[in-house]
Amino acid sequence: MTHILDDVHIVTLALNLPGPLAAQRLHQLGARITKVEPPAGDPLVAVAPNWHSELTTCQDITVLDLKNPDSRSRLDEMLNSADLLMTAMRPSATERLGLTETHSRFPHLGHIEIIGYDGTSEDVAGHDLNYQAAYGTLTPPLMPTVPIADMLGAERAVTAAVLLLLERIATGRGGYRRVVLDHAAQAAGAAVRHRLTGTGAPLGGALPSYRIYRAADGYVALGALEPRFAERVAALLVLQRQFVTEVVSMVIDLG
């Protein structure tokens, strides 16, 4: 089966979650992935080793200490033949490693930079929890069950990769795209901001046909927004109520 990114080689230095998620998706589209990890490894291994293994299946993992000149030279050798570079570190770290110069040194190479914040806050450290907290997608004191900003950021990185490849076809040169996780979280928070979700909102429990109900053995998630589905659910509940009433009457009569 031919994939759209066959013959595309991507070198990724992106650790933790957004980068590996994006790299896995790009691999599924046909790209060959070389993942460069530091001697300490990817921090994701410590908290979710099985997920790390799943995300890096069929990828080439190379361990390099990029502060070491020999390792840095080996990275340059990889970049010389790669199509895309993906990083996920603060811009100051990218600059210290000399990665801000990749476009001038390797004109064919596209660079996807995943960062937490943009503008004057671009060097501020952050994680998914911080990004979500700013845009109303948390319900304190509960912790999030889905790393929304990381996952949406990963999808934006995949889009950036495809756009860079299309740009190179058009111009003959590599380009640069920045993916900001804070922006991804802000986009996710639009549903809360526009009062579609959240406490008392239509998809936040205000509609009886779109709500979580307690049951004898747990909970039931009911999603019947469309009128025809809501009507069917209502009719079913009426029939069920009638059945229960009849059973109770029979028990009383027998008693």
The reported pLDDT for the residue numbered 130 is 96
Q: Domain ranges in the chain?
A: 9-192, 210-254
CATH topology of domain 9-192: Rossmann fold (3.40.50)
**Would you give per-residue pLDDT tens digits along the chain (255 residues)?**
568 899 999 999 999 999 999 999 999 999 999 999 999 999 999 999 999 999 999 999 999 999 999 999 999 999 999 999 999 999 999 999 999 888 889 999 999 999 999 999 999 999 999 999 999 999 899 999 999 999 999 999 999 999 999 999 999 999 999 999 999 999 999 999 999 998 899 999 998 889 999 999 999 999 998 989 888 888 888 767 775 565 556 555 555
- DSSP class per residue in the chain: ---TTTT-EEEE---TTHHHHHHHHHHHTT-EEEEEE-TT--THHHH-HHHHHHHTTT-EEEE--TTSHHHHHHHHHHHHH-SEEEE-S-HHHHHHTTGGGHHHH-TT-EEEEEES--GGGTT----HHHHHHTTT---TTSPPSS-HHHHHHHHHHHHHHHHHHHHHHHHSS--EEEEEHHHHHHHHTHHHHTTSSSTTSGGGTTSTTEEEEEETTEEEEEE--SHHHHHHHHHHHHHHHHHHHHHHHHHHHH-
